[in-house]
Amino acid sequence: MRRMFIALLAMVLLAAIVVPAYALDYEEKPDIAVSFYGSNYFERGDQKTLTLVVYNNATREKVEYDNMDEAGFFGQNEDMLFTAYDVKFTLEGNDCIEVKTPTQSIPALPPMQPTTLNFIVKISDDAKAGKYELNLKATFYRIDGLKTLETYPNPFNPSEPYIPVQQQIQYEIVNGQETGNGTKTYVYQSILKKYEIDYIKVTKTIPIAIYVEEKSVVLEVVSVQSEDLIGKGKGKVTVEVKNVGDKVAKSAYLVLDTPSGIEPQGLGLQSQGMSSAMPAGMMPGMSSMPMGMGMLMGLPGMGGMQGAQLPTTSPLSTTKAAYYVGDLKPGETATATFYIKFDVKDEGVYPLHIKAVYLDEYGRLTESESTTFGIHVKAAPSFDVVDVKSSVFVNAKGDVTVKLRPSTDLKDASVILTAKQPLSVLSAEYYIGDVRAGEEFAAVFKVKAGDEAKPVTYPAEITVKYRTMDEYFESDPVTIGVKVNPKIKFEVYGTPKIAAGSEKVVTFTIKNVGNFTVREATARLTITDPFSSSDDTAYIGTLKPRQTAEVKFKLSVDADATPKKYGLNLEVKYKDLEDEWAISEPTKAVIEVTPPQPPYGAIALVAIIAIVAVAYYYLRRRRK
């Protein structure tokens, strides 16, 4: 005969239950555990985030219900019993550690579902190295039991609170055979109307260990002195830094980082109160290197140190200013002087960053955090073009005088003129020397205009070169206009006459209608048919503007020349203002050829001979 054990299970909202015999009780109730995510090590002065992982470590071991109602309500929702509700976390600081994050809340924390909490903590600058314990106060609520439960009546049998759904028998199996022992399960339902749950508040304090380590090397900028900081120039910056950390920077370099457009270069370095294992002026791995010598690439001397090889990914692989200072102990200072070139034009305060690259106590190459400081840079020099005068003529040299007014003081200034064809700058740079802001100065250039030049104004560019520190820089170019004057002109007056078939000295009047005096001038007549000449040039000498002079030429005209006016080209060769030979544009010299004159001399001779013959004839007749 089989023995059968019957267990009555009821469902609340379709949930199966087993009727308990005792009051609600269960083991491994909700509880809070904490672990660290990331590091709980800090340095004094740090303000960082402490990340904690919190979780509810409750697990179901054993549950005893007080009555069928509790069993029916919690039966298949037992996670409710192991969940912590309305959880609040408060991390309390102390005299050395300040917690800046307020209380954090979690509505519910189910078992074994960890979550993270982030607390911002500030370590005091006066905190000593060591272990510090903070208190994490956690408060939450857990279920204590079912206070009330109301259901709707059974519509099928009002005298019974539960509605039977199904029943089943499960026999015990031993060695693969069913035994007479079995469990008969009845499943019921009830319709839930109202319920209340009792909660218990739990408060727990969890110690949180924080470790404060010795502060790494930290640079503090003590003072900054500057000289000649000007855009498009070169200046000097002297920075004094102090190691306010707790550790020694061994074999340290100071590195200056600059923004785009600013290029640092090392000048020299001095340390104050520093002691080093190596002699002053010597670098590790180097036979002899003056202290403070800057290197443009990498870190010299560290290659010979164990663990000090410079990684290819180091930010110093392409640094432009790294300087060896030796060991820098806590509280000691070092003063570094840098030349800085500025490829910027605008005035303003520009940020620079200085850091230390050094070997730590384990011989590892380490770098400190960058410390930022600002430098005031004046605007790049500029200038106003006050006036431009030109004595340049077509196909001739001349002076171009430019008057300028600078915006700032300039040292060893010179002015540079550039131009394109048809202009040629014969003296491109004019030295000025030192000039003061707002004072006008003039620069004079020799410029030649080619033969193809027109009498117009051509563009050219003016640039001012100046010295700051030991280097020269140039301002932005400014466009000016260079006027090219027309060639000097001469006018010819007079129309001499000459008979065909005759030779004669003709005279012309020449007038200088140009703007400057010509010297050693010579007029030349271009002889063409029907003229010929054994002397086609005439010396003029010096001829001032608006002045005239007479020139004479000996000409012969063919006998068969047609009587009319002829124009011959007349050119003047002269020395211009630059004492250069020049030839004017040809102008016309007009000569009138008249008809041949009768041979009056021959007729007179014949008449005389005839008169003498007649007289001789009458004289002889009278004698007879």
Where residue 444 sits, what CATH number does that domain have? 2.60.40.1670
Q: What token pair was written down for 95?
A: 């005299």
**pLDDT: is 49 or 80 the higher one?**
49
pLDDT score recorded for residue 185: 65
How sure is the predictor about 525, in pLDDT bands with cuts at 50, 70 and 90?
very high
Domain final residue pick, 430, 463, 484:
484
Give yes or no: residues 38 and 135 share one domain: yes
Let me know whether 109 and 180 are in one domain: yes
Cβ pair 335, 239 in contact under 8 A: yes
Higher-pLDDT residue of 314, 425: 425
Mean pLDDT of 185-208: 80
What is the distance between the alpha carbons of residues 624 and 621, in angstroms, rounded to a whole number? 5
Could you give the CA distance from residue 384 to residue 405 in angstroms, rounded to a whole number? 5
Tell me the C-alpha to C-alpha distance, in Å, between residue 126 and each of 215, 218, 263, 354: 11, 15, 38, 24
Are residues 328 and 408 part of one domain?
A: no
Q: What CATH number is attached to the domain comprising 240?
A: 2.60.40.2430
Question: Are 507 and 584 in a shared domain?
Answer: yes
Look at residues 288, 296, 293, 374 and name the one whose alpha carbon lies nearest to residue 337: 293
587: its two tokens:
């102008």
Quick one: 465 and 498 in the same domain?
A: no
| CA 491 vs CA 43, 449, 509, 517, 553: distances in Å | 96, 23, 8, 15, 17
Whether 180 and 98 map to the same domain: the answer is yes
Same domain, 335 and 456: no
Distance CA 140, CA 494 (A): 126
User: Nearest CA to 101 among 109, 88, 91?
Assistant: 91
Q: Are 197 and 207 in contact (CB under 8 A)?
A: no
pLDDT score at 291:
45
Nearest to 201 by CA among 328, 342, 30: 30
CB distance 422 to 452 below 8 Å: yes
Confidence of residue 341 (pLDDT cuts 50, 70, 90): very high
Question: What is the rounded CA–CA span in Å between residue 137 and residue 114?
Answer: 17
- The set of residues, in sequence order, having a beta carbon less than 8 Å from that of 293 and lying 6+ positions away, is 266, 283, 323, 324
* Per-residue pLDDT tens digits for 398-441: 899 999 999 999 999 999 999 999 999 999 999 999 999 999 99
The mean per-residue pLDDT over the stretch 516-532 comes to 92
Distance, in Å, from the CA atom of 526 to the CA atom of 587, rounded to the nearest integer, reads 11
Residue 357 shares a structural domain with residue 455? no
Which residues are CB-contacts of 289 (< 8 A; sequence separation ≥ 6)?
281, 282, 283, 300, 301, 324
Asked whether residue 124 is domain-assigned, the answer is: yes
Give the CA count within 13 Å in the CB-facing half-sphere of 525. Answer: 29
Other Cβ atoms closer than 10 A to 281:
12
> What does the pLDDT look like over 144-154, one tens digit per residue?
888 877 777 77
Q: What is the DSSP string of 180-192?
A: EEEEEEEEEEEEE
Q: Is residue 31 part of a domain?
A: yes
pLDDT the model gives residue 167: 64
By the 10 Å C-beta count (0-12 exposed, 13-18 middle, 19+ buried), 382 is classed as middle
| 513 inside domain | yes
Residue 123 CA, chain-centre distance (Å), reads 37
- Tell me, yes or no, whether 142 and 43 share the same domain: yes
Residues in CB range of 143: below 8 A, 6 or more apart: 80, 81, 197, 198, 199, 200
Last residue of a domain, one of 431, 458, 484: 484
Higher-confidence residue: 338 or 173? 338
Q: Does the structure show a pLDDT above 90 at 444?
A: yes
Mean pLDDT over each residue of the chain, to the nearest integer:
82
Mention every residue, 6+ apart, whose C-beta is less than 8 A from residue 396.
Answer: 448, 449, 487, 576, 578, 580, 582
Taking only the tens place, the pLDDT of each residue in 578-616 is: 788 888 889 999 999 999 876 666 666 777 887 887 777
What pLDDT is recorded for position 306? 35
Give percent above pLDDT 70 in the chain. 80
What does the block give as tokens for 383? Answer: 């200038």
Q: What is the pLDDT of residue 28?
A: 77
Q: Check residue 296 and give its pLDDT.
A: 40
Tell whether 588 and 475 lie within a shared domain: no
Residue 309, in any domain of the structure: no
Which of residues 141 and 18 earns the better pLDDT score? 141
**pLDDT for position 451:** 85
Please tell me the predicted confidence (pLDDT) of residue 186: 62
Last residue of a domain, which of 484, 507, 542?
Answer: 484
- Residue 128 sits at φ, ψ, to 5 deg, of -90, 155
Look at residue 300 and tell me whether its pLDDT is greater than 60.
no
CA nearest to 104, candidates 116, 122, 114, 121? 116
Segment 20-26 shows an average pLDDT of: 52
- Cα of first residue to Cα of last residue in the chain, in angstroms, is 226
pTM of the model as a whole: 0.57
What does the pLDDT read at residue 602? Answer: 62
- Would 495 be classed as within a structural domain? yes
CA 46 from centre of chain: 32
Which residue in 441, 430, 420 sits closest to 399, CA to CA? 430
pLDDT at position 317, please? 35
Higher pLDDT, 320 or 348: 348
- Name 583's bridge partners: 573
The enclosing domain of 197 has a CATH number of 2.60.40.10
Q: 256 or 276: whose pLDDT is higher?
A: 256
Report the domain count for the chain.
4
Cβ atoms < 10 Å from Cβ of 209? 10
- Domain around 573: 490-594
With a cut of 90, say whether residue 17 has pLDDT above it.
no
Residues 7 and 119 in one domain: yes
Residues 157 and 53 in one domain: yes
pLDDT of 325 strictly over 70: yes
Longest CA–CA separation in the chain, Å: 226
pLDDT reported for residue 215: 83
Residues 6+ apart with CB under 8 A from 608: none
The more confident residue out of 270 and 553 is 553
Confidence category of residue 202, pLDDT binned at 50, 70, 90: very high
- Residue 72 dihedral angles phi and psi, to the nearest 5°: -70, -35
Which pairing describes strands 497-499 and 587-594: parallel, antiparallel, or unpaired? Answer: parallel
The pLDDT of residue 192 = 67
Does the residue 364 lie in any domain?
yes
Q: What is the pLDDT, as a whole number, of residue 190? A: 65
383-394 pLDDT per residue, tens: 999 999 998 988
